Amino acid sequence: MKKLIVIFTAFISALILTPAVMANDDSHGDGKLDPKEIIFEHLGDGYGWEVPFNHHKRIPLPVIVFGSDGLHIFSSSHITGGKEYIDGNTTFKLAGKDSDFKGKVIEIVDGKEVRPFDISITKNVCGIFIAVMIVIGLMLWLRSFIKKHGYKAPRKGLGFLELLVDFIYDSVIKSTLGKKSAKFAPYLLTVFFFIFVMNLLGLIVIFPGGANLTGNIAVTLVLAVLTFMVTNLFATRHYWKEIFWPEVPLWLKFPLPIMPAIEIFGMFTKPAALTVRLFANMMGGHMIVIVLTLLIFIFAAVSPVAGGATTVISVLFSIFMLLIDVLVSFIQAYVFTMLSTIFISLAQVEEEHHAEEAHKNELKITTQSE
Amino acid sequence: MELFTPDFGLIFWMFVAFAVLFFVLWKFAWPVILKNVDSRADLIDKGVEYAQNAKLQLDNARQQAEEYVAEARRQQADMMRDADRIKTQIIEEARSAAQVEAQKVMDSAKVQIQQQQKEAEKQFRNQVSEFALDIAEKVVKNQMADKQAQTKLVNSLLDEIESKN
């Protein structure tokens, strides 16, 4: 206990003193702080991956663009820091702050900036590949354990992994989809683990993590579109009938297809909701932590004392927020999987079931009237 | 807002990455893992069912065993009672048989004694008569010559003796 108090006091005093020390050290940049710039830089994508504790060095990543004269592949180190890169007859550079394509690779054609067709391996793409490898590694690990030990329950980390599989498979997929769960379980479980690993990777600040993956709308959009495709491609005939000819009074669907229009609109709001929910939740968490950290610098610019006080509060809040984000990472992966399962199951309605129910209701009504 | 405009390159790579991930897991991982999860659930269900059956059977067996024990006790008591009865019966029979035998022996002994007595009496009478005749002969020889008169006298004497007896 005494040791803990000593460590804690040392930690707090270090936090208080840091801004004071940093204020004296004027070697960094021009000293002007642009919080908006920093926030968007951290949340957004980038060519190259920051090295911990150094803002100028980046791990170079390949840039792949189809310019006006074909395919170009070069290292991102050629264009960082405002440099222009000439590959053959084409000139590439990173768009400046005032450009429409801020921070993206652009091609200069006749003095004008043109955005080429860009499929570069950016920081986020690289992060996605790392997440894919981690998920594949984890699942093959579990598979090899099962192959080797059969029914035996795994312990420790692998036990947790199996618990997660069991939890999602049993209480989300099986309880909603029933007999059809075998058909959709591979997709849904893949989605869950992919999102969960990407969420957690986003919370790690240094190299293998640090990319704001699920807080990027492109990533969540792809996942939602996949769920949309799975939902509608495997849908039953009854599902389509419910959309185009639902059981409502005729005037709601005949001359003016009011209900079908609403139903079709509903088809597309579901993936939109999935996209935005995951994206906004994860991005929000990241943004709060960055803002809390930036508060230190904003207050330190005012006075070192205020900076010291803010440091303590900010760091404690950041730790708290990061812990909450771990929980949110799981919850959002779970919610995405659960909603995907529900959307898929809604598209698996069968005629017999409804007819039976309607018949039952009819019987009830007749018996009541008698 | 750059945050809300999806980047095409990222969408493309995300799609490719997901496709690869899904294919690998669908081909290698999920069949094995899900089969294991399912069959383990089945195994557990079966185990519970088996245990319930076993408990039921055990309860039945216990009840049956109790019934057997009670039955055995009852039989034992019956047998004890029977044995007791048979014992007394045997003793009783033996006693009566012994009595009958003893009676027989005694009866035959009595008859024999009576016979021997009669024989002895007969012998004794013969001898007495012989002795008497001898004595009388001697006495009469001396006193009487006439044999006829003598015999007459003797017989009357003998009758006298006999009637005395």
Query: Does residue A19 fall inside a structural domain?
Result: no
Statement: residue A249 has pLDDT above 90: no
Mean pLDDT within A318-344? 93
**Are the beta carbons of B37 and A222 separated by less than 8 Å?**
no
By CA distance, what is B44's nearest residue in A?
A: A151
Search chain B and give the residue with CA nearest A283: B3
User: Are A72 and A161 members of one domain?
Assistant: no
pLDDT of residue A2: 80
Nearest by CB to residue B30, choosing from A43, A102, A189, is A189
> What tens digit of pLDDT does each residue of B113-128 get?
999 999 999 998 888 8
Residue A27 has a pLDDT of: 44
Write the CB contacts of B30 (distance below 8 Å, at least 6 apart in sequence). Answer: A139, A185, A186, A189, A190
Check whether residue A156 and residue A171 sit in a common domain: yes
Where would I find the H helices in A97-249?
A: 123-149, 156-167, 175-177, 181-203, 217-233, 237-244
**Using an 8 Å Cβ cutoff, are A90 and A117 in contact?**
no
Q: Decide if A357 is inside a domain.
A: no
Among A121, A143, A159, give the residue marking a domain's end: A121
The pLDDT of A85-91, averaged and rounded, is 79
CA B44 to chain A, closest CA, distance in angstroms equals 11
What are the backbone dihedrals phi and psi of residue A95, each rounded to the nearest 5 degrees, phi first? -65, 145
A32 near A276, Cβ under 8 Å? no
Choose the closest CB to B11 out of A104, A194, A218: A218
Spatial distance between the Cα atoms of A143 and A189, rounded to a whole number of angstroms: 14
Note whether A211 and A88 are same-domain residues: no
Number of domains, chain A: 2
Same domain, A98 and A209: no
Lowest mean pLDDT among A19-28, A238-247, A316-325, B12-21: A19-28
Burial bucket for residue A82 (CB in 10 Å: 0-12, 13-18, 19+): exposed
pLDDT category of residue A20 using cuts at 50, 70 and 90: low
| % of chain A exceeding 70 in pLDDT | 90
Average pLDDT over residues A50-62: 79
Beta carbons of B28 and A143 less than 8 Å apart = yes
DSSP assignments along A300-334, one per residue: HHH-HHHHHHHHHHHHHHHHHHHHHHHHHHHHHHH
- The one-letter code for the residue type at A294 is L
**What phi, psi does B117 have (nearest 5°)?**
-60, -50
Domain that holds residue A98: 54-121
Among A71, A158, A196, A216, which would you mutate to test the B interface (most chain B Cβ atoms within 10 Å of its Cβ)? A216
Q: Average the pLDDT over A12-30 and give the result.
A: 60
pLDDT at A361: 54
From the CA of A183, how many Å to the nearest CA of chain B? 11
- Per-residue model confidence as pLDDT tens digits over A300-313: 888 888 888 888 88
Instruction: Clarify whether residues A222 and A178 are in a common domain.
Output: yes
* pLDDT higher than threshold 70 for residue A362: no
pLDDT of B41:
86
Mean pLDDT of A80-108: 79
Same domain, A93 and A235: no
Q: Which residue has the higher pLDDT, A91 or B80?
A: B80
Q: What is the mean pLDDT of chain A?
A: 84
Average pLDDT score over residue span A110-137: 88
Residue ranges of domains in chain B: 9-164
| A207 and A91 within one domain | no
Domain contains A15: no
A218–B10 C-beta distance less than 8 A: yes
Say if A29 falls within a structural domain: no
Of residues B128 and A1, more confidence is placed in: B128
**Where is the domain boundary, A69, A93, A121?**
A121
The mean pLDDT of chain B is 89
Q: Crossing angle, helix A217-233 and helix A258-302, to 10 degrees?
A: 160
C-beta of residue A107 within 8 angstroms of C-beta of residue A99: no
pLDDT at residue A18 in the model: 67
pLDDT for A370 equals 44
Q: Is A291 a member of any domain?
A: yes
**From A151, A185, A194, residue closest to B40, measured CB to CB:** A151
Interface test with B, best of A99, A139, A225 (most B CBs within 10 A): A139
Residues A127, A117: one domain?
no
The 10s digit of each residue's pLDDT in B56-74 is 999 999 999 999 999 999 9
B11 interfacial to chain A (CB closer than 8 Å) = yes
pLDDT in the model for residue B50: 95
Shared-domain flag, residues A156 and A207? yes
> Do A347 and A212 have their domain in common?
yes
Domain endpoint, select from A121, A145, A177: A121
Q: Do A171 and A296 fall into the same domain?
A: yes
Torsion of CA A16, A17, A18, A20, to 10 degrees: 110
- CA of B38 vs chain A CAs: smallest distance (Å): 9
pLDDT at A26: 46
From B56's Cα to the closest Cα of chain A, the distance in A is 27
Give the number of other CB atoms < 10 A from CB of residue A324. Answer: 14
Residues A115 and A133 in one domain: no
Give the tens place of pLDDT for each residue, A140-196.
Answer: 999 999 999 877 888 888 999 999 999 999 999 999 988 888 899 999 999 999 999
Q: What is the mean pLDDT of residues A65-74?
A: 83
Return residues 43-72 of B near A (CB < 8 Å).
Answer: 43
